[in-house]
């Protein structure tokens, strides 16, 4: 009886390496693939990561391939990232990269080498609910490392072909397994920033990519009084306090970004709290869709604790979210992810902030 062939997306880090080792122990035929993405400044899929992934594949005695993804990564992720920032939104590149690159382009490559499944080192869990005939995406065992938020745009087809071998383990257990297997990436540090943006920051990266400086504009308070000048809206995000270049004798924060007038609005912290927003382009996972309203737990960014809310369909493409308590710094461009307990119901992109 032939073994089930699975491709593991190997990043050169401990999670994907241990994922490959776990699958080997379970009897799968494992092939490692490592993507190369964008720029020399990339913190993910760098030359060092490729070298580490190759070494780990050799140690595990599995085939390993390096897959160039520069063009699709540019088209799907980098161009989106620049467009969102220049439109006054704060993008979420990981939530775009996962369905288009890792579980899109890389999954296609896996199929080309005869693999039925793709595995990664994400902290999440995939199961199938036979009663409704849908694949479910659930939070990883260690909630502090849970990555279901970034995976909430995956399709049913992608989830049906996906394995997350480390998702049922706490992070310290994964590092222990790596040490026990003598995998010397066990203590390798993790990147926490946008992988393709260099240390010079988002605004400088976008200026370099566009080939010109961003357009300065006014910084105003809610009464439309001009308090200073910003150096381009792409350098700012809602909730930001540092780097505003103005002093009013108390802490102030970015409360709104208006791309049409190239204006940054600032205010006191209490102006950051809102109890509602609208979101668009839903991707349903745990349910076929939504009719009317239902209660759910909602995350409005990765490090946001899921919070009770009511979600209501306004149209096929638009959902209204009303939070039980006001939430801090709801940000257009970010992903709102809906949960029923541990399971992801679906997700949609934040458009408009409301108070109701």
pLDDT tens column, 293-327: 999 999 999 999 999 999 999 998 999 999 999 99
Segment 133-154, tens digit of pLDDT? 999 999 998 888 999 999 999 9
* pLDDT at 155 exceeding the cut of 80: yes
Domain identity same for 263 and 276: no
Q: What is the pLDDT of residue 153?
A: 98
Residue 43 has what pLDDT?
A: 55
Predicted pLDDT at 184: 78
How much is the average pLDDT of 163-189? 85
Token match 């400088």: residue?
Answer: 204
Domain with 290, as residue range(s), is: 272-354
Write down the pLDDT at residue 186.
Answer: 60
Q: Domain of 117: which CATH number?
A: 3.40.50.620
Q: What pLDDT is attached to residue 349?
A: 98
- Taking each helix axis from N to C end, the angle separating 202-210 and 79-86, rounded to the nearest 10 degrees, works out to 110
In a domain, 119, yes or no: yes
Same domain, 255 and 279: no
Same domain, 296 and 315: yes
Question: Are 155 and 263 within one domain?
Answer: no
The last residue of one of the domains, among 267, 293, 312, is 267
Higher-confidence residue of 47 and 262: namely: 262
pLDDT at 135: 98
Q: What is the pLDDT of residue 191?
A: 59
Q: Classify residue 130: in a domain, yes or no.
A: yes
Together in a domain, 230 and 281: no
Same domain, residue pair 101 and 239: no
pLDDT in tens, 224-234: 999 999 999 99
Last residue of a domain, one of 225, 243, 267: 267
Mean pLDDT of the chain: 93
Q: List the CATH number of the domain containing 218.
A: 2.30.30.280
pLDDT surpasses 90 at 235: no
Ranking 18-27, 33-42, 164-173, 338-347 by mean pLDDT, the lowest is 33-42
The answer to whether residue 260 sits within a structural domain is yes
- pLDDT at site 21: 95
- Residue 205 falls inside a structural domain: no
Residue 258 sits in the same domain as residue 298? no
The answer to whether residue 332 is domain-embedded is yes
* 258, part of any domain: yes
Same domain, 154 and 176: yes
pTM for the complete prediction? 0.94
Q: What is the pLDDT of residues 95-134, one digit of tens each?
A: 999 999 999 999 999 999 999 999 999 999 999 999 999 9
262 and 279 share one domain: no
327 and 219 within one domain: no
pLDDT surpasses 60 at 57: yes
Please say whether the beta carbons of 307 and 297 come within 8 A. Answer: yes
- Whether 128 is covered by a domain: the verdict is yes
Residue 207 lies in a domain: no
Total structural domains within the chain? 3
Last residue of a domain, one of 227, 247, 267: 267
Q: What is the pLDDT of residue 112?
A: 96
How many beta carbons lie within 10 A of that of residue 114, not counting itself?
10
**CATH number of the domain that residue 347 is part of:** 2.40.30.10
> Do both 114 and 143 map to the same domain?
yes
Examine the domain organization and report whether 27 and 99 are in the same domain: yes
How far apart (Å, rounded) are the C-alpha atoms in residues 145 and 147? Answer: 6
Higher pLDDT, 204 or 190: 204
CA pair distance 301, 241, nearest whole angstrom: 18
Q: List active site positions.
A: 97, 195
């Amino acid at each position: 009886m032939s073994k089930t062939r699975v491709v593991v997306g190997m990043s050169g880090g401990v999670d994907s390496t241990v994922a490959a080792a776990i699958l080997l122990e379970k009897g799968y035929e494992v092939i490692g693939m490592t993507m190369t993405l964008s720029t020399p400044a990339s913190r993910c899929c760098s030359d060092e990561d490729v070298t580490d992934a190759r070494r780990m594949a050799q140690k595990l005695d599995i085939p390993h391939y390096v897959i160039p993804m520069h063009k699709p990564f540019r088209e799907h992720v980098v161009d989106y990232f620049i467009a969102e920032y220049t439109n006054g939104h704060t993008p979420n590149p990981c939530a775009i990269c996962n369905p288009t690159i890792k579980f899109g382009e890389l999954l296609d490559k896996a199929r080309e080498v005869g693999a039925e499944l793709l595995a990664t080192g994400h902290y999440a869990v995939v199961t199938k609910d036979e009663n409704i005939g849908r694949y479910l995406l659930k939070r990883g065992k260690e909630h502090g490392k849970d990555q279901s938020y970034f995976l909430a745009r995956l399709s049913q087809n992608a989830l049906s072909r996906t394995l997350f071998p480390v998702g049922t383990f706490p992070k310290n257990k994964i590092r222990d397994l790596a040490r026990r297997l003598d995998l010397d990436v066990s203590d390798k540090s993790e990147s926490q920033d946008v992988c393709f943006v260099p240390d010079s920051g988002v605004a400088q990266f976008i200026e370099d990519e566009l080939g010109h400086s961003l357009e300065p504009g006014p910084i105003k308070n809610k009464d439309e009084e001009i308090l200073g000048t910003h150096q381009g809206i792409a350098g700012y995000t809602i909730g930001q306090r540092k780097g505003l270049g103005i002093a009013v004798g108390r802490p102030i924060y970015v409360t709104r970004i208006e791309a049409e007038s190239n204006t940054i609005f600032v205010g006191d912290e209490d102006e950051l709290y809102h109890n509602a927003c609208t979101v668009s382009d839903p991707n349903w996972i745990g349910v076929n869709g939504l009719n009317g309203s239902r209660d759910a737990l909602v995350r409005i960014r990765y490090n946001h604790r899921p919070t009770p809310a009511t979600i209501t369909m306004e149209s096929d493409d638009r959902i209204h979210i009303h939070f039980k308590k006001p939430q801090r710094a709801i940000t257009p461009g970010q992903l709102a992810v809906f949960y029923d307990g541990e399971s992801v119901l679906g997700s949609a992109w934040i458009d408009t902030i409301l108070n109701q």
